[in-house]
Amino acid sequence: MTGQCEIVRRALEGEGELAEIGAHSKSCAVCRAHAKVLQLLAELEPGAPDPETLREIMTALPSAPWQRRRLATWLPLAAGLGFVVAGLGLLGGMPAAGAVALVPGAASSVFAYLAAWFLDALTAVRGTSHALEIAVVVQGAGLLLWLGVVAVSSGWAAIALARGPRRGTRS
């Protein structure tokens, strides 16, 4: 075996490229035989899997365990529960004398202020001025609005809990 033969045979095995492979192989029976052995062996590689086997494997897979603790699953739930707790505090169901107990009331006032400001601007445009009355009424509406937020958030949490881990499609 010449040095050129070894280079050609290694090139045949995928170790580098050699433009002279064809020309050399024409004149070297041993390198042609080497190429033939590689060709025969290459024909032995496994083919495509049959669809039935694939289907069996895919249907045998359990639910994806790594998705059970995804933030996307637990964040809505945690947020919803947070609103529920706050709502309970607002309704007096939670005996909290600290700053936390003031949060729902403060939020209600903020809602009321914003709504009053909007309606005040609206009535000013229309040429009447009942902003003070509206503010008093809307203060109560702010409380209702807050309770609505709590209800929606609770529903959101319940849905997130019922859906369980996020699931994708599986063929």
Burial of 67 (0-12, 13-18, 19+ CB in 10 A): middle
Does residue 47 touch another protein according to CB under 8 A?
A: yes
For residues 48 and 147, what is the distance between their CA atoms, to the nearest angstrom? 60
Options 4, 10, 20, 91; binder of another protein; rule CB under 8 A = 10
Contact with another protein (CB under 8 A): which of 3, 22, 49, 92? Answer: 49
Beta carbons within 8 Å of 149's beta carbon, 6+ residues apart = 83
Confirm or reject binding of residue 163 to another protein (CB under 8 A).
no
**Angle 117-122-125 (CA atoms, 0-180°, nearest 5)?**
125
Query: Per rule CB under 8 A, is residue 62 in the interface with another protein?
Result: yes
Q: What is the binding site for another protein (CB under 8 A)? A: 9-10, 13-15, 29-30, 32-34, 36-38, 40-49, 53-54, 56-58, 60-62, 64-67, 166-171
